[in-house]
Amino acid sequence: MRIYLIAIILVMSGIVNAQSLTSEDWVKIADDKLKNNDISGAIFGYEIATKMDTLNSEAYRKWGSLLAHVGTFESNDEKFTDGIEKFRTAVRLNPSKASNYYEWGNALLKEGRYKDDLDAYKQEILQKFNTAEALSDQVGAYCLASFYSIMKDKKNSLKWLDTTLSKDYTVKDKRINRRLLEHDPNLVNVRQDNKFEKLLDTYFPSPQ
């Protein structure tokens, strides 16, 4: 009830137009808040979105990602766990959405790195990334390549990097390009490998 009262106040004050009070639009409002570094405003927006539409998996995913991120960097285990629960809800509502899994995996990866204990999260991280990749999403494969590089497993990192670039995924991401591969800090452990250079030249040949 409190969340609706605040939303009504926002409408009456002219901050938000009444016609925008749909779950999808509250997600957009929250996204804008997040872009402007208004973390509290973003969390509030995603919460409203889920209250207005309890089936909005995107809202739960984004809410979960933000809560987990904040929980990690505030060393707040309760908030991190709350974020993970939002991911569980997102997956339950839309089990075929790859981003529900790879964003969950990335949240676990951040937590593991922050606590300097990636091994404790390794199996669950891999399960999330593998599930995303199995749903034919290129980002899932790239996450696997990045994770194996972080774990200093060059063989698997390069294997998944090759798969990322060669497989005809249903969902592709334009951000995965030569520039990203050359600058992504997660790939630092494989970047000096000759096979890495060959992959770049094969899939992103430099203009002659």
**What is the reported pTM?**
0.88
Q: Predicted confidence band at 17 (pLDDT cuts at 50, 70, 90)? A: low
* DSSP label at residue 27: H
State the Cα angle at 47 between 89 and 132, rounded to 5°. Answer: 35
- Dump pLDDT digits (tens) for 49-76: 999 999 999 999 999 999 999 999 999 9
Look at residue 137 and give its three-state secondary structure. strand
Query: Is residue 28 predicted with pLDDT exceeding 90?
Result: yes
Predicted confidence (pLDDT) at residue 162 exceeds the cutoff of 70: yes
Domain ranges of the chain: 141-208
pLDDT tens-digit profile of 102-119?
Answer: 999 999 999 999 999 999
Residue-level pLDDT at 154: 97
Q: Count other C-beta atoms under 10 Å from residue 136's C-beta.
A: 15
pLDDT at 160 over 70: yes
**pLDDT greater than 90 at residue 10:** no
d(CA 79, CA 45): 17
